[in-house]
C-alpha cells in the first residue's frame, strides 16, 4: 500500500511589487501518521522556550506563527531548537525554490499573468517532491484561494492531473478542507 504524506506549502511573499525583491516558495512534508506526534513536539518546544501562555491551545489561540522570513532576537532559542528538531527527525523534509529578482519577471513574453507563473513555480517545487507511487495531502497557503484558484487551472498549468494527490486549504491547519482529489 502506498504511504500517505502531508505536504504543507507556503511562500515568503507573493506580491509582485512589495519591499522584497526575493521570493521563496517552500514546502515541508512528512508521513501523515507522524503529523500529530510532530505537532505535539513543536508545541512542547514552544512551551519549553516560554512562548505559550496557559490555555492558548485549549482556547484555540495560536501564540504566534513560526515565520521563516525573519527571526526576532527574543525567539532565537526557539528557532534554533526547531531547526535542530527538524534535522534530527528523518521523517521531516523541506524543499524550496528561490526567485532572486521577482521584479524583473517577463510574464507577457510567456503569455501568462503573475498568478499563472506562481502556479507554475509551485508545480516545479512539488513535482520534485511527489512520487507517483505514494499518496499526498497537499495543503496550500490561503493565498492560493484568494487568487483565481481552481483545479482546472492546476491541470492547465501542470499539463495533467496528479494521481493520488489531495489539494486543500491550509487554513492554519485547524481543519482539513480539501478542494480536489485526483484518483
Residue 161 has pLDDT above 70, yes or no: no
Name the domain count of the chain. Answer: 1
Per-residue confidence (pLDDT) for residue 171, from 0 to 100: 38
Supply the pTM of this predicted model: 0.75
Q: Could you read off the pLDDT of 66-82 as tens digits, one per residue? A: 766 677 888 889 999 99
Give the orientation angle of helix 151-158 with respect to helix 114-127, to 10 degrees.
70
Percentage above 90 pLDDT, the chain? 18
Q: Which of 45-49, 78-82, 89-93, 137-141 has the lowest mean pLDDT?
A: 137-141
Pairwise pLDDT comparison (29 vs 55), residue with the higher score: 29
Strands 135-140 and 177-182: unpaired
Domain with 9, as residue range(s), is 4-182
Burial 20-48 (b: 16+ CB within 10 A, else e): eeebbbbbbbbbeeebeebeeebbebbee
- What CATH number did the domain enclosing 61 receive? 3.30.420
Mean pLDDT score of the chain:
74
| Averaged pLDDT, 89-101 | 91
Q: In what order do the strands lie in the sheet with 93-99?
A: 93-99, 23-31, 4-11, 135-140, 165-169, 177-182
Q: From start to end of the chain, where are the E strands?
A: 4-11, 23-31, 93-99, 135-140, 165-169, 177-182
Residue pair 135/31 in contact (Cβ under 8 Å)? The answer is no
Cell numbers given for 60: 484555540
- Helical residues (DSSP H) of 70-142, grouped into ranges: 76-88, 114-127
Q: Could you read off the pLDDT of 162-174 as tens digits, one per residue? A: 555 555 544 333 3
Per-residue confidence (pLDDT) for residue 162, from 0 to 100: 53
| Averaged pLDDT, 119-134 | 83
Per-residue confidence (pLDDT) for residue 57, from 0 to 100: 57
DSSP at 78: H
Cell numbers given for 95: 524543499
Residue 85 has pLDDT above 70, yes or no: yes
Gap between the Cα atoms of 59 and 26, Å rounded:
29
Amino acid at each position: 500500500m502506498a504511504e500517505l504524506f502531508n505536504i504543507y506549502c507556503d511562500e515568503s511573499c507573493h506580491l509582485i511589487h512589495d519591499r522584497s525583491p526575493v521570493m521563496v516558495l517552500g514546502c515541508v512534508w512528512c508521513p501523515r501518521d507522524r503529523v500529530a506526534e510532530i505537532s505535539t513536539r513543536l508545541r512542547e518546544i514552544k512551551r519549553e522556550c516560554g512562548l505559550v501562555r496557559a490555555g492558548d491551545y485549549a482556547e484555540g489561540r495560536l501564540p504566534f506563527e513560526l515565520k521563516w522570513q525573519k527571526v526576532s532576537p527574543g525567539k532565537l532559542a526557539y528557532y534554533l531548537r526547531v531547526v535542530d528538531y527538524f534535522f534530527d527527525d528523518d521523517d521531516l523534509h523541506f524543499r524550496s525554490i528561490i526567485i532572486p529578482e521577482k521584479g524583473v519577471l517577463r510574464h507577457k513574453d510567456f503569455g501568462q499573468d503573475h498568478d499563472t507563473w506562481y502556479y507554475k513555480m509551485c508545480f516545479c517545487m512539488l513535482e520534485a517532491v511527489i512520487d507517483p507511487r505514494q499518496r499526498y495531502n497537499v495543503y496550500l497557503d490561503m493565498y492560493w484561494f484568494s487568487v483565481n484558484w481552481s483545479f482546472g487551472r492546476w491541470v492547465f498549468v501542470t499539463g495533467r492531473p496528479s494521481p493520488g494527490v489531495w489539494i486543500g486549504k491550509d487554513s492554519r491547519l485547524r481543519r482539513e478542507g480539501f478542494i480536489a482529489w485526483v484518483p
